[in-house]
Amino acid sequence: MKNYRDSDYAVNKYASGIVYRFADKTIEITLEDYLRENPHKTQNDFAELKKLSDEIYLEQVRCENAQSKKTVSFHALEETVNCSVPSFEATLEQIENKQHRQNLAKKALDKLTETQRRRYILYVVKGLTMREIAEIEGVLHSKIQKSLLAAEKKMQKFITNK
């Protein structure tokens, strides 16, 4: 057997057989062992199994490498903004700002006509395209476009005056 200090993928790829590594031992299944245990199988069956085991080990290495790139060093962790928890005051301020923005948006929507409000909600909230809204309402695409532009102007004017 070869030097089994390498990764599972390297060990399996460069071995003539299929290598299984366990916590306490390493086993290599050779072509002869495989054919002796499976008399109805062929050398091609073993080659396919070997190729499949190489692919599995390679995918395992790729996953491990991807995970290790996500690892964060503990050095100077206290200085890392991404790992810190915002203060209660900062969280409260974020909630208040979000509520303020929501109230402002509701008031701005109230400045729109019913048609503009309906179209704006379909477009922005529901994510429909102008053409989809036009098809639903049975009007031309340009009418929807003009209505949405007018709605945006009204809302922008209301927000800037606040």
Domain boundaries, the chain: 8-69, 87-161
Q: What is the pLDDT of residue 4?
A: 43
Q: How far is CA 9 from the centre of its chain?
A: 27
Write the burial class of residue 33 (CB in 10 Å: 0-12 exposed, 13-18 middle, 19+ buried). middle
pLDDT at residue number 122: 93
What is the pTM for the complete model shown? Answer: 0.44
Q: Can you list the residues of the chain whose pLDDT is less than 70?
A: 1-6, 68-84, 162
Top-level class of domain 87-161? mainly alpha
What is the pLDDT, as a whole number, of residue 2? 44
Write out pLDDT tens, residues 12-27.
788 888 888 777 888 8
